[in-house]
A and B are shown apart, each in its own frame.
Chain A
Amino acid sequence: MANKKKTSPRVKKATVKKKVAAKATKPVTKKKVAAKPVAKKKAAPKAKPKAVVKKKVAAKVAKKTAVKKTAAKKTVAKKTTVKKVATKATVKKTATKVASKKSVASKKSVAKTQPKKVAAAKSAAPVAQQPRVVTRAAEPEVIGAGKTPRVITRGGAAAVQTKSGFPFTAEQIPNGVKEAAFLHSYRQSAWSHFESLPLPSTNDEAWRRTDIRQLKRSSMQIVDNLPSAQRGALPAIPAQLLKPLVGEGHGGQIVFGPGETTVTLSQDIANQGVVFTDFATAAAKHPDLLKKVLGNVVKPEEGKFAAMAGALAGRGALLYVPRGVQVEEPLHSLLWGPGAGLAYFSHILVWVEDGASVTYVHEAASPTISEQSMHAGIVELHVGSGANLRFVELQSWGEHMWNFTHERARVQKDGNLDWIFGALGSHLTKNFSEINLEGEGSLGRMSGFYFTDGDQHLDHDTQQNHMAAHTTSDLLFKGALEEKSRSVWQGMIYVAPGAQRTDGYQANRNLVLSKEARADSIPGLEILADDVRCTHGATVGKIDPDEYFYLLSRGIPPVEARRLIVKGFFDPIMERIPFEGVRQRFQQAIVQKMK
């Protein structure tokens, strides 16, 4: 590949820490602010007493720099360690020079720069919304899936202010199982966060490259509130999507259709004590288990869409693997989300107890239509001590879908997570994926591939948190972009103080196939331990004309030559995916997207 810009410094120990002020009691705030040369000018606030200046490299936009104000809890604990690091941080220092020119101007208060409407909503929220949630929760009416279909009327002006234009109401919170009070209170709590959190805007660093203003929020209707006749008329699930992507067959399958959810689980696996079912069943049959797992890894208050999904997810899956149980056959779930102007919410919970192991494939899909629809989802993964989880996520939404997900995995001592992301669909995706390596010796691997075309916009925001010593993370995301599509990858490796002997790796490689496509690639390191090995790299390239000519000279026609180069580009990531079905699906997508 011809790499236009390439940055892959090997950073052994790298943090430049400015003078640490004595004020350890400063509020814990963590914020990433990247300066862009063309960014609107912001008022420069007073210099903060504490700032870890951290390198961020944008492969597409030159001189992309970042300033990170790090939480007191992260920096104060090991001052001596950090200072020691600073003396060795040669790579960081050069980056700092660039950063310092722009960074001062770019430091900004997120709250201040919010659009006024949103800021107002935020400040009004605690007063205006808290009582409303309570009163509505008390209403006896239950909207069960398919039971009481009704057309939802659009929210009025007041609703627009408090819910950022989404017409959803607290009455729509799923409440099918009376005995699971904890579930309902979780959802009520999530709802209040949904109401109080501002809609993300491009003033928020995490959303700076992903603009969601064109999402027709007010016309979104929760699919479960469609009359059942309308739901029944939605396109059925193609048989192909129900076929196993991994191995010979499924050990179990959950299919979330627009109308109903079906669950199957082999008797052998059920006999092992494995629970693999939807939320409603879990709440009825395994309430203690669901209570233990729910909201444990991802908090609804982490974002507007996390809160939305937490409150409204009518499509929830729980996978629980008891201690020491090895599930041989892979499990599969499919979220099928057809239709126009519909909102789908999902919540995936995976809890693998100590010493257990399982492979789980989850796919979200829909046919492409012209009108918008949306999905918000939460994924929570827990990998116990010495446990193994292989989690494959395929995002095959139609190219009209606006997709927002908050996902996090926690890995305990000597646990092993192999997390695979395949993203081919959606109009716009904002995905937060995070690995917390909490136990010593834990290993987290994230392998992502994406291929965009048309006007697709995929934004993957990854974080590898090394919270304990001897942890290893390995991230490789590769993407190709056709037509006018755009991708954003921003990744961060964080090494906590004391997390010595960690090995962190992150790489993002992009192949831009069209002049109008654009890939932004922004790796980041924040290392607060002094005996670590962290490497990152980001490249944005295009098809090498010499490679292309070489293939043509052998009689391979232009379209096929391009495909072959793209397939070759993805081969390293395909090698990380030992599932023939997943690979085949992706190869088909390459053929479809490169006509």
Chain B
Amino acid sequence: MSQLEIRDLRVTVAGNEILKGLNLTIEQGKVHALMGPNGSGKSTLAYTLMGHPNYEVTGGEVWFKGQNILELEPDQRSHLGIFLAFQYPVAIPGVSVANFLRTALNAHRKAKDPEDKGMPIPEFRTLMKEKMDLLKMDHSFAGRYLNDGFSGGEKKRAEILQMAALNPEFAVLDETDSGLDIDALRNVAEGVQALRGPNFGALVITHYQRLLNYINPDVVHVMFDGRIVETGGPELALKLEAQGYDWVREAHGEAVISE
């Protein structure tokens, strides 16, 4: 069962507790949006789910496909079907998009079958072209060094391209909409929508309603001070868009002071 279940997650970064007992369950095939003011811990949650070493888990569990993924290395989490679209994708100089993707795809194949010899090159080329077309990307993109000198929009598209190629069962999109113009936003959102289905769940972290106009989330959460404080349907995002976060602070600010 590939639902993602976060139980009482506590995470510390450089000695500061950022996640303070977070609970969240995302059922298989559902897309949840996660909103919240700056500093509430959204990106910390994203990195923690992927296993970034700077985020120290001090308590809690995250269950996915029968495993507590907090016990797994980042590459093992990826093999299990988890994907993180980075808010700030990292440049890998000297490694082309195609080379990188092929290495990643082959690593996934090998994780499933240690005897696997890797994806045949023609098959890989076809896959690349198909996914690049989906995201309306020029094919020359494949030959460029990954994220090296990419514009903000190109980086985000490259993230979605990787997601489309790796075909995860659960993806975290960390502010994938930030820094995108309207056209790029639509392309990226369409790319995500194309993956939607009964075997694809996602946590979409965003500040803005506009992304959610394209990706209609099943559930919307509001995060504040390291916890999920509000949960609702798409109307919750509209409320935030209209009213901002003041009402959230008023309702839940006491918790901050009391700690």
Contact = CB atoms under 8 A, between A and B. Distances in A.
Interface in B20-59: 50-53
Contacts of B78: 552-555
B130 interface: no
A550 interface: yes
A552 B75 contact: yes
Given A546-B90, A554-B104, A568 B166 contact: no
Counting chain A residues whose Cβ lies within 8 A of the other chain, the interface size class is: 20 to 34
A182 interface: no
Contacts of B99: 564
B145 interface: yes
B193 interface: no
Contact of B92 (A551, A553, A555, A558): A551
Contact of B73 (A550, A552, A565, A569): A552
Contacts of A568: 92-95, 145
A140 B219 CA distance: 98
Interface string B64-77: 00000000011101
A556 B104 contact: yes
B156 to A, nearest CB: 14
Interface string B101-125: 0011001100100000000000000
Contacts of B53: 545, 549
A554 B162 contact: yes
8 contacts: A550-B90, A552-B78, A555-B78, A555-B104, A555-B107, A560-B107, A568-B145, A570-B94
A571 interface: yes
Given A549-B90, A572-B94, 12 more contacts: A1-B93, A549-B52, A550-B92, A552-B73, A553-B77, A553-B84, A554-B166, A555-B75, A556-B104, A564-B95, A565-B92, A567-B94
A547 interface: yes
Nearest to A551: B92
The 9 residue pairs across chains A and B that have the minimum distance between CB atoms = A568-B94, A571-B94, A555-B78, A552-B74, A568-B95, A550-B90, A554-B104, A552-B75, A555-B107
A555 B79 contact: yes
Contact of A557 (B89, B107, B145): B107
Contacts of B52: 549
Contacts of B92: 547, 550-551, 564-565, 568
Given A564-B100, A568-B95, A556 B75 contact: yes
Contacts of A545: 53
Contacts of A571: 93-95, 145
B245 interface: no
A556 to B, nearest CB: 5
Nearest to B52: A549
Contacts of B150: none
Interface residues of B, number: 30
B208 interface: no
A117 B156 CA distance: 67
A546 B86 CA distance: 11
B89 A567 contact: no
Residue among B91, B99, B107, B162 facing the most chain A CB atoms (10 A cut-off):
B107
A426 to B, nearest CB: 26
B89 A550 contact: yes
B74 A549 contact: yes
Contacts of A565: 92, 95
Contacts of A558: 73, 75
A359 to B, nearest CB: 25
B70 to A, nearest CB: 15
A556 B111 CA distance: 10
Contacts of A557: 75, 107
A564 B146 CA distance: 12
A580 to B, nearest CB: 16
Interface in A1-22: 1
A567 B107 CA distance: 17
Contacts of A549: 50, 52-53, 74, 90
Contacts of B91: 547
A552 B74 CA distance: 6
Contacts of B79: 555
Nearest to B101: A554
A557 B73 CA distance: 9
A557 B72 CA distance: 12
Contacts of A570: 94
Contacts of B86: 550, 553
Interface string A551-592: 111111110110011011111100000000000000000000
Contacts of A569: 93-94
A355 B217 CA distance: 70
A570 B94 CA distance: 7
A546 B89 CA distance: 9
A547 B111 contact: no
Contacts of A544: 90
Contacts of B107: 554-557, 560
A561 B78 CA distance: 14
Contacts of A1: 93
A546 to B, nearest CB: 5
Contacts of B51: 552-553
A219 to B, nearest CB: 43
Nearest to A549: B52
Contacts of B111: 555
B94 A556 contact: no
Contacts of B103: 556, 560, 564
Given A564-B100, A568-B145, A553 B94 contact: no
A153 B186 CA distance: 83
Contacts of B93: 1, 568-569, 571
B107 to A, nearest CB: 5
A155 B74 CA distance: 61
Contact of B166 (A555, A561, A572): A555
Contacts of A552: 51, 73-75, 78
A558 B78 CA distance: 13
B102 to A, nearest CB: 11
Interface string A531-557: 000000000000011110111111111
Query: Most chain-B CB neighbours within 10 Å: which of A544, A549, A558?
Result: A549
A572 to B, nearest CB: 7
Nearest to B54: A545
A313 to B, nearest CB: 39
A249 B185 CA distance: 52
Nearest to B105: A555
Contacts of A556: 75, 103-104, 107
B113 to A, nearest CB: 14
Contacts of B100: 551, 554, 564
